[in-house]
Structure 1
Amino acid sequence: MLVLHTSDWHLGRALHRFDLFAAQAAFVDHLVEVIRAEQVDLVVISGDVHDRAIPPVTAMRLFDEALSRMRDAGAHVVVISGNHDAPVRLGDKAGLLDPRVRIRTDVAKITEPVTVEDAHGPVHVYALPYLEPAAVVAALPAVTDEADQIDRTDEGGEVRAEGTSLTHPAVLRRAMRVVHADRVRRGGRSVVCAHAWVTGGQASESERDISVGGLAAVPAGLFDGITYTALGHLHRPQALRDCLRYSGSPLPYSFSERTDVKSSLLVELDANGLGWVEEIPVPVYRNLARLRGRLAELMTAPVHEAHVGDFVSVVLTDTIRPMDAMTTLQRRFPFALTLIHEPEASESTDGLTYRQRIRGRSDLAVAEAFVTHVRAEPSEGERSLLQAALDDARRSEEAA
């Protein structure tokens, strides 16, 4: 059986206000072509389909279209909700879908796997939506008192007092306990589709932090015995073990991901379990680059020509912040998205106190230097206004 693992589409997301709809639609086209070309049997989408709980209509339509096209290409599809998704909204029509398409957002159904058959028998897909402790603990399938006591133990061995909120690791531990019991009873190969931060995973700048409020990373050992675990949440593609992987997001959603090779994972499950895993690179919609230097150099240096069509983040090092710097930059780099001014230190003033720097300069010269530093060199009219203000201040002091 061939399984295609993808996650963290974040439909509706922008990159520093640049609309990524066209890039996300191109990814869906690519995914459908992979399903057709490789004759994929099963697609698992491990959460964060949308970027926010109430996605824009265009994002909802793109997701609906993606589901139909993946099904028509011959694949079964299993989707879970992530921490960015609204479970009720994502799964509100799950019961009306084609049986080959399953959207799982209800934690109470984690022991009802989606079963797909091949020549070697059944593959049971356990779909674990994002488990926010306060929201799901009451709906989790029942476990024994002994197991429940273990589930209140956090990563450091501290047992939480009765009545306090469970941690995210404890909730996922309880969920996996009942999953393991069910898979042993059923037999056959198993796939877990989960949205979580597993210990050892490397984050980027674009994930929403789920470590706040007692939520934390979960141990990789929770997934021991599972044929393949398809993880979502972290945007960098990475393998924690051969059978425990993040596919990563299909697009870079921060400049920290500019060197990542975005991909989906093609997974073969053979008669004995996990056969092999292959990374399928996602075509690059537009590269990301970080540039640093003075405005004049950035606008003229041939070395930067390769980045003219990239999404660009710029750090300007001019001593004085240039006027309309972003407008100027976008004449050469039309996809310049962010701009930071970090002036290079002036050797003539390094180590000098303010009094030492202004010694021997007139009040007008000091005022002009301040205006130049925070904006641009003042015009003749502005110099006249500054001089008039200084004269008024001096006269007021003399009168006092």
Structure 2
Amino acid sequence: MRLLHTSDWHLGRSFHGHSTLPQLRTVLGAIPGIVREHGVDAVLVAGDVFDHAAPAAELYTVLAEAIRGIRDAGAIVVMISGNHDNAIRLGFQAEWAALGGVHVLTGPESFRHPLGLSDEHGAIDVYGIPYLEPMLQRDLFPGERIREHGELLTRVTGEVDALRAERGNRSIALSHCFAANLKNPDPDQDPLAAGADLVWDLTSGGLDLVPAEVFAGPDYVALGHLHGRSELSSSVRYSGAPVHFSFGEAGRPRGAWLVELGAAGLERVEWVSLPIPRPLARLRGTIDELLEGEEYARHAGDWVEATLTDAVRPIDAMRRLRERFPFCARIEFAPEGVRPEHARSYASRVAQRGDTEVVDEFLKHVRGGEGLDEGERGLLAQVLVEAREKVSGGNS
């Protein structure tokens, strides 16, 4: 049996205020071609199908298009809910969807009722472990005080392992969590060791750490939640998101894992790339260099993050940059050759200065070095006195 492991579609997510739906439509539209080319039997979606708990109606249409394309190509669909999904909404009508080859496993007890598949070698059990919130799923293990996600997943996978031993079939698991190798992390693969956009209180996106070792039992474990591709072991992997959702993901591949099960279990896993409709470009230089340099012309159709090194912050920088880079989404200001105190925020630089000094410096900046003249100083002093009187009168 051949499986295609994907996750974190995040339908409805924006990219610095821009919709990612056109890019997602293109990428999800490429999956049926992969299904046909590689003879995929099932497409696995390991959670975070939507980006919000209450998706807009248009997003359901996009999801339906993606699923219809996969089914027309000959593969079934198996998906679980993630921490961004509303499990009840995503799982609505799951019973009827299953009749059409679309298996939506969102119930807290889904892992106790494995989905049965089969190939020429016999039965395969699929254990769906949707995102489970410890404080909300206390009924899973009555009488037990489980407060952390890692503790809950350890308990869940222990029950899955018991079911696997009892049933004796080859098995696949889907889980949406933040898993990492705690004992021997691989700096090149493990998300914790590699620092894959994680915060260092051992949580990511509100999920606490799950030891990767708890997933050692099934023949293959399709993980979701982290947006970068990673391999915790030969059989436990993250596929990452199908499109880039932040500039921190620049340079990271987008794709899915093609998984092949044989008679004895896992036989082969290989990476299949997905198209990148709008690449990420992180450009650095003065605004004139970015606007005039020939080497930057190829980024006209990319999402652009521009780090401007001008000594003085350019006026109307975003508008000017978007004339050349229509999809410039973010600007950073990092002046080169400027003393550190001048690179601080405006508020911190003026905090210890008088009002007259601040106005004088501002006028010098906008008038080519010409500050307050005597007449303007007198007028400004009068205005400041009147303003202070109004403030003190209003506080009396």
- Output the TM-score relative to the length of structure 2: 0.83
Distance 1:138 1:251 in 2: 36
Superposed structure 1 runs of 4+ greater than 6 Å apart: 363-366, 378-385, 393-396
2:393 is aligned to none
Residues 364 and 127 of structure 1, relative CA distance in 2, 3 Å threshold: closer
Amino acid at match of 1:91: G
Q: Deviations over 1:286-311 (max 9, x none)?
A: 11011122211211122222222211
Q: Deviations over 1:242-293 (max 9, x none)?
A: 1010011000100011110111111000111111111110111111011122
Deviation at 1:22, TM superposition (A): 1.1
* Aligned partner of residue 35 in structure 1, secondary structure: helix
- Identity, % of aligned positions: 37
1:287 is aligned to 279
The 5 Å alignment of 1:246-285 reads 246-285=238-277
Residues 364 and 213 of structure 1, relative CA distance in 2, 3 Å threshold: closer
- Which has the larger displacement, 114-123 or 333-342? 333-342
The 5 Å alignment of 1:162-311 reads 165-200=146-181, 201-202=190-191, 204-205=196-197, 211=203, 215-311=207-303
Amino acid at match of 2:300: V
2:23 is aligned to 23
Residues 13 and 167 of structure 1, relative CA distance in 2, 3 Å threshold: same
Q: Deviations over 1:51-81 (max 9, x none)?
A: 1111122211111222222222211211100
Distance 2:236 2:20 in 1: 29
Q: Deviations over 1:118-142 (max 9, x none)?
A: 00001100000011111123135x7
CA contact (8 A) 1:368 1:378 kept: no
2:185 is aligned to none
Deviation at 1:191, TM superposition (A): 0.3
Deviation at 1:338, TM superposition (A): 0.7
* Aligned partner of residue 166 in structure 1, secondary structure: coil
Deviation at 1:215, TM superposition (A): 4.4
Residue 117 of structure 2 is aligned to residue 116 of structure 1: yes
- Which has the larger displacement, 225-234 or 302-311? 302-311
* Aligned partner of residue 66 in structure 2, secondary structure: helix
Distance 1:212 1:260 in 2: 19
CA contact (8 A) 1:368 1:383 kept: no
2:61 is aligned to 61
Distance 2:223 2:53 in 1: 20
Residues 377 and 30 of structure 1, relative CA distance in 2, 3 Å threshold: farther
Return 5+ residue gaps in structure 2 as ranges: 182-189, 343-354, 387-396
2:106 is aligned to 105
Distance 1:51 1:112 in 2: 27
Amino acid at match of 1:174: R
Deviation at 1:320, TM superposition (A): 2.0
Residues 214 and 237 of structure 1, relative CA distance in 2, 3 Å threshold: closer
* Aligned partner of residue 102 in structure 1, secondary structure: strand
Residues 213 and 256 of structure 1, relative CA distance in 2, 3 Å threshold: closer
Distance 2:269 2:384 in 1: 78
Residues 372 and 218 of structure 1, relative CA distance in 2, 3 Å threshold: farther
Deviation at 1:190, TM superposition (A): 0.4
Distance 2:54 2:250 in 1: 28
Residues 53 and 395 of structure 1, relative CA distance in 2, 3 Å threshold: closer
Deviation at 1:342, TM superposition (A): 2.6
Distance 1:391 1:330 in 2: 41
2:379 is aligned to 389
Distance 2:171 2:95 in 1: 23
* Aligned partner of residue 97 in structure 1, secondary structure: helix
The 5 Å alignment of 1:59-138 reads 59-99=59-99, 100-138=101-139
Root-mean-square deviation over aligned CA pairs: 3.1
Q: 2:335 aligns with which of 333, 339, 343?
A: 343
Return 5+ residue gaps in structure 1 as ranges: 149-162, 351-362
Distance 1:181 1:109 in 2: 15
Residue 329 of structure 2 is aligned to residue 328 of structure 1: no
Residues 98 and 226 of structure 1, relative CA distance in 2, 3 Å threshold: closer
Distance 1:210 1:58 in 2: 35
Distance 1:370 1:345 in 2: 21
- Which has the larger displacement, 65-74 or 110-119? 65-74
* Aligned partner of residue 318 in structure 1, secondary structure: coil
CA contact (8 A) 2:13 2:51 kept: yes
Residues 393 and 59 of structure 1, relative CA distance in 2, 3 Å threshold: closer
Residues 335 and 214 of structure 1, relative CA distance in 2, 3 Å threshold: closer
* Aligned partner of residue 127 in structure 2, secondary structure: strand
Residues 371 and 51 of structure 1, relative CA distance in 2, 3 Å threshold: farther
Residues 83 and 384 of structure 1, relative CA distance in 2, 3 Å threshold: farther
- Output the TM-score relative to the length of structure 1: 0.82
Distance 2:375 2:288 in 1: 30
Amino acid at match of 1:38: H
Deviation at 1:212, TM superposition (A): 7.7
CA contact (8 A) 1:137 1:171 kept: no
Matched length: 362
Amino acid at match of 1:136: Q
